[in-house]
Amino acid sequence: MSKLTNLKGRISYISSKARQENLYAVYETTDRKFWMELAKCNQEEFKKSGTDGKCIEARELIIALPESFVDYEPDKLLKLFTEHFKQNYGVECIAALHHNKRKTNYHIHLIFSERKLLDEPVEKIATRNMFYDENGKHVRTKKEILDESGQLRSGCKIIPKGEVYERNIFTIKDSRFKSDSFLDEVKRSYTDLINIYVKNDKQKLKVFDRNGVYLPTKKVGKNNPKAEQIRTDNQYRTMWNQTVDRALISGVPEEQIMEVKQSEIGQNAKASIKQSGRNPALFKRIIITAIYALELLINRIMKNAKAEVDKVADTVTEAKPERKDYREVFKVKGSEEPTKVAVPEMPVKSVLASKFHRLTDIYHKLEKQNEAIYEREQQLDSLEKELANAKGIFKGKQRKELQEQIEQLQTQIENMKRYLPSIVQGYGYKNVKEFLTEYKASKAEYNDYKSAVAKWEQQTGNKVDDSFRAKLQQMQKRAKEEEQHRSNSHQKKSDRGAR
């Protein structure tokens, strides 16, 4: 969200075909006179406040759209998004629909007012002569605006008694537009709106959860003077997010990850800003310390899991239940072909439960990658200890070789950590947490289904498989048809008896 200090110029820039190579539509909820009056009002109020800096005349949102939205009519699309904002917040807007030069970024510029028009202007009448200096500031006496010769100084003015000295047509600024919560709210609102019109589910958007386990990365804008600082900051935020992925896969509870994030990053960052201001070097150290704390939990769980695997051998065997012919399940008196179902209804697998085996394959890939990273980390730890012990004048060659191995291993580990989230992203998931949420839900539903199947098999003595399911469904369909036929025959007899 941008603060606009030159409202007239910005409106001209986003809505001019001469200045925009790919301008598709412009939509306004009110006339241009409104924006001129708004800018004038804001400038007057800013002068009266005596505040330093620049006057904020309006605010602007840039809404990124999926490229598939080019298939919608530009005028109607822009009207929908602009009226959506006005309906939610009750303020006037002007918007323009653009493409960048390479036509890779389809987006809307939406300018909105922080003030509303009053139903009736509020006018203040002077009860005595009012005196104003060159800066428009009200002064008590006429002497304060006169020069040495007793003449009215240039820029000063007098408003006679009985005339209007102040006229307001706008409300005060709505303070909610300054808050972070507003920005989060409007992001979610537009994300939901976009997702309604997205044709492909894989293109659906999600808003970053600031209260979740991950840290947000910042966008590096064009010609940003702090671009290098933002890139470095993003690098360490990404390192934290990669460590979070590993922690989730390893089985560290999400609540525990949040505790580390809040105590090691949230609280320490606040204390650091309060004491030293915003210092990128200090923030970097805070992130690294938090990563160490999280890695300690990961290593403990991985170490315990490895010890458990080494101790316990997998000797689980499943006893195959005795299978009866499906025909024994159905009996109809006087008929060789079974038609009537005499068993409980067969369990039906839900859509989420049906995904379980596919999701399990993805989960195993994550586990395998995580275990490989852990093994490399153990090798690295061993080499670093060996390097620390390689002391003395005659061990220079050994130290050099060890240092080269350590650097190669560190690069390998970094690449493996970077690859970890791409495993789930390749299947359409935003991050590991989103995948694990669906995987756990699918696993729970699949286990419920398996329990229901086991119960059904115990009651019927039959084994559920695809061929048996098809035969059972055929029998159930035939039974229903015969039941309906008997019901219709009985009804016809009843009708004849009544006549």
> Largest Cα–Cα distance in the chain?
128
Show pLDDT as tens, one digit a residue, over the chain (499 residues).
889 999 999 999 999 998 888 999 999 999 999 999 999 999 988 887 878 889 999 999 999 998 889 999 999 999 999 999 999 999 999 999 999 888 888 999 999 999 998 888 877 888 889 998 888 788 889 999 998 888 999 989 998 988 887 778 899 999 999 887 898 889 889 988 988 888 776 667 666 667 788 988 887 766 677 788 888 889 999 999 999 999 999 999 999 999 999 899 988 888 888 888 778 788 889 999 999 999 999 999 988 888 877 776 554 444 444 444 444 444 444 444 544 445 567 777 788 888 899 999 999 999 999 999 999 999 999 999 998 888 888 888 888 999 999 999 999 999 999 999 999 988 888 889 989 999 999 999 899 988 888 888 888 777 766 555 555 566 656 767 777 776 676 666 555 554 5
The pLDDT assigned to 199 comes to: 74
The tokens for 1 are: 């969200």
CA distance linking residue 454 with residue 321, whole number of Å: 10
**Contacts of 139 by beta carbon, 8 Å cutoff, 6+ apart:** 131, 132, 133, 145
The pLDDT assigned to 27 comes to: 96
CA distance linking residue 292 with residue 137, whole number of Å: 58
The CA-atom distances, in angstroms, between 58 and each of 34, 35, 115 are 12, 9, 9
Please list the residues that pair with 107 across neighbouring strands: 64, 98
28 three-class SS: strand
Helical spans, DSSP H, in 390-431: 396-425
Please state the domain extents for the chain: 2-116+174-203, 118-170, 227-311, 341-464
CA distance linking residue 436 with residue 433, whole number of Å: 5
CA distance linking residue 427 with residue 163, whole number of Å: 71
The tokens for 436 are: 């694990």
CA distance linking residue 358 with residue 361, whole number of Å: 5
Other C-beta atoms closer than 10 Å to the C-beta of 22 total 14
Sheet of 138-139, strands arranged across: 138-139, 130-132, 157-159
CA distance linking residue 308 with residue 301, whole number of Å: 11
The pLDDT assigned to 52 comes to: 82
Nearest-5° angle of CA 148, CA 152, CA 155?
A: 115
Q: Tell me if 136 sits within 8 A of 191, measured CB to CB.
A: no
Other C-beta atoms closer than 10 Å to the C-beta of 77 total 21
The pLDDT assigned to 271 comes to: 87
CA distance linking residue 290 with residue 284, whole number of Å: 10
Nearest-5° angle of CA 447, CA 448, CA 454?
A: 85
Q: Tell me if 21 sits within 8 A of 83, measured CB to CB.
A: no
- DSSP assignment of 200-269, as one string? SGGG------TTSSS-PPPP--TT-TTHHHHHHHHHHHHHHHHHHHHHHHHT--HHHHHHHIIIIIIIHH
DSSP state of 499: -
Please list the residues that pair with 94 across neighbouring strands: 28, 111
Q: What is the pTM of this model?
A: 0.55
The pLDDT assigned to 6 comes to: 94
Q: Tell me if 35 sits within 8 A of 95, measured CB to CB.
A: no
Nearest-5° angle of CA 41, CA 47, CA 49?
A: 100
The pLDDT assigned to 114 comes to: 95
Please list the residues that pair with 25 across neighbouring strands: 97
Fold of 2-116+174-203: BirA Bifunctional Protein; domain 2 (3.30.930)
